Amino acid sequence: MNRKEDGSRRGNPLSPAGVKDNMFPDPHIKIFVNPDTGKENMYVYVGHDEGRDKFIMRDWYVLFSEDLVHWECRRSLDRKDTYLPPDSTDCWACDAVRSPWDGKYYLYYSHGGESTGVAVSDRPEGPFRDARGKTPILPKGITPTNSYDPDVILPDDQDSRAWIVFGSDWTDHYWAMQLKENMTEVVPGSARKVPVYPDENTKEELLGVLRSDQAEAFRCGGRWYLYWAGRYATSDNRLGPYIFRGNIGADIPHYPDGRAFIDHGSFVEWKGQWFYAVSCGTESWSYRQSWLMYLHVCDDGTLMFDEEIRQYGVGQYNAAWEKIQAEWYMEIDTPYIRKIELKRDGKHEGFAIAQDEGTHSARYPHVYGMEKNMRMTLRLRGEKGARVEILSDGKAAGLLCLDETLPGMTEKEIALVNDPGEHEITLRMTGAIVIDRFRLTE
């Protein structure tokens, strides 16, 4: 993929402003309202790696951004404000949620691979303070598995209870316990295993493929997913049983001992787009960073991401790229526009955006390196009378009207009227239309 030297920046790994060492692993991503601006931000709750050949992690941090290109960083929880020893280097993975009962923010944090604590704040970025008098919410031995690497599932239309999922394949896989409404205690006797089976016909737990710790459960459409270190399984229920489906990180390099180059991961939907944050190793398996990508879901539930976006990050584009895939949008008018899987003869051919009627928009901010009055070539199909209006920073820049039905994907060129520099490009679509991708040329 070509790229001009135009001052644009790579978005991966996540690199907060003013931070020289961006070794922030184990991301959990959430969407909360920034109390200072009243706007939604993405918050990424992370640890901080300092060790080169072992974990040296002294505190917990939060990265946050409104556009997912420009990031800020703050320490969210000081280990001295927890039950951990003051000199601890075992500040492992954490998760944060906003309580549906009292509106406060709760941060669940690991003391190494031994136990889990909980802290509370009135603000999503903290500072958090210990919420239990400096005692763990999940002490060592509360279940047969390790009591660390928490993931919290909040109530939804299927289940009015909150659950905390935790554990490790090194002992007895993953377990869950119900959280009380105060979010600082678990319900006695609520512990239950979260089983993962290799297929629908085998009711014996999957062995050997897990080989990881932190799991995250999330709901996408009608499916529940359980993710760990690139692998994932699906279920009709939040606590399973889950059926193993695949490895989203199969094509990512692995370390010589077979462990995945990627490990802890997290998922969230925002403005009609799914995002996937994941820890990636550097030259050392213990010295890791957090990367952010778009997530795509096939009709059969398969999870996918783009190698180009793994390299360059989300929320930014370059006019010199050979193509900008339509599914790389940062915002769409939902539910009118949707992301769809493209197939030919039943085989996967990528993704696109589609709508059936009305006038709706897909937005692509931070398009760097645009020359004056460029040309856009769209690959699309649609019905006669459908239109695509191109906006540059909200102003009309070009228009394509289909004077005939295009049953198959066809390239159509539009002359734009735009100034040079960085712009937000909006595709405003009218009528039944599917757009696969576009490119910009001088």
Assess whether 143 and 47 both reside in one domain. yes
Mean pLDDT confidence for 349-357: 97
Query: Distance (Å, rounded) from C-alpha 189 to C-alpha 226?
Result: 23
| pLDDT for res 147 | 95
Domain ranges, residue 283? 28-315
SS3 311: helix
Assess whether 164 and 57 both reside in one domain. yes
Q: What H or E segment, with its residue span, contains residue 312?
A: helix 307-312
| pLDDT for res 9 | 60
| pLDDT for res 1 | 43
Assess whether 311 and 348 both reside in one domain. no
Assess whether 299 and 379 both reside in one domain. no
Does any domain span residue 22? no
Assess whether 300 and 344 both reside in one domain. no
Does any domain span residue 94? yes
Q: What phi and psi values does residue 318 have, to the nearest 5 degrees? A: -135, 130
Pull the structure tokens for residue 182: 């105060």
Q: Calculate the CA 105 to chain-centre distance.
A: 20
| pLDDT for res 2 | 45
Does any domain span residue 366? yes
Query: Distance (Å, rounded) from C-alpha 351 to C-alpha 355?
Result: 14
Give per-residue pLDDT as tens, 79-88: 999 999 999 9
Spatial contact of 163 and 171, defined as CB atoms under 8 Å apart: no
Assess whether 125 and 239 both reside in one domain. yes
| Single-letter residue type at 10 | R
* Backbone dihedral region for residue 219 (phi beyond 0: left; psi -120 to 50: alpha; all else: beta): beta
- DSSP assignment of 378-434 equals EEEEE-TT-EEEEEETTEEEEEEE-SS-EEEEEEEEEE----SEEEEEEEEEESSEE
> CA–CA distance from 276 to each of 27, 311, 317, 376 (Å)?
10, 14, 18, 29
Does any domain span residue 15? no
Q: Tokens 């940062």 map to which residue?
A: 330
Spatial contact of 414 and 398, defined as CB atoms under 8 Å apart: yes
Assess whether 134 and 55 both reside in one domain. yes
| pLDDT for res 213 | 73
| pLDDT for res 436 | 98
| pLDDT for res 5 | 45
Query: Distance (Å, rounded) from C-alpha 442 to C-alpha 440?
Result: 7
Does any domain span residue 52? yes
> CA–CA distance from 128 to each of 76, 79, 131 (Å)?
6, 10, 9
pLDDT of 349 > 70? The answer is yes
Domain boundary at 289, 315, 341, which? 315
Spatial contact of 11 and 318, defined as CB atoms under 8 Å apart: no
Does any domain span residue 18? no
| pLDDT for res 284 | 63
Give per-residue pLDDT as tens, 8-42: 566 788 989 888 878 899 999 999 999 999 999 99
pTM to 2 decimal places? 0.95
Assess whether 298 and 421 both reside in one domain. no
Q: Note the residue count of the chain.
A: 442
How many domains would you assign to the chain? 2
Assess whether 298 and 341 both reside in one domain. no
pLDDT of 285 > 70? The answer is no
pLDDT of 169 > 80? The answer is no
Does any domain span residue 382? yes
List strand residue ranges (DSSP E) for 34-168, in order: 40-47, 59-65, 72-78, 91-98, 105-111, 115-121, 129-130, 151-153, 162-168
Domain boundary at 280, 315, 350, which? 315
Domain boundary at 298, 315, 332, which? 315
| pLDDT for res 260 | 52
Assess whether 225 and 322 both reside in one domain. no
List strand residue ranges (DSSP E) for 326-393, in order: 331-332, 338-344, 347-355, 359-370, 375-382, 387-392
Give per-residue pLDDT as tens, 131-165: 999 899 999 999 999 999 999 999 999 999 999 99
Spatial contact of 392 and 374, defined as CB atoms under 8 Å apart: no
pLDDT of 259 > 70? The answer is no
What CATH number does residue 391 fall under? Answer: 2.60.120.260
Assess whether 257 and 375 both reside in one domain. no
Q: Within a 10 A sphere around the Cβ of 225, how many other Cβ atoms?
A: 19
Edge-to-edge strands, sheet with 72-78 = 28-33, 40-47, 59-65, 72-78
Query: What are 293's strand-pairing partners?
Result: 276
Does any domain span residue 414? yes
Closest by CA position to 354, among listed 271, 429, 438:
429
Assess whether 207 and 307 both reside in one domain. yes
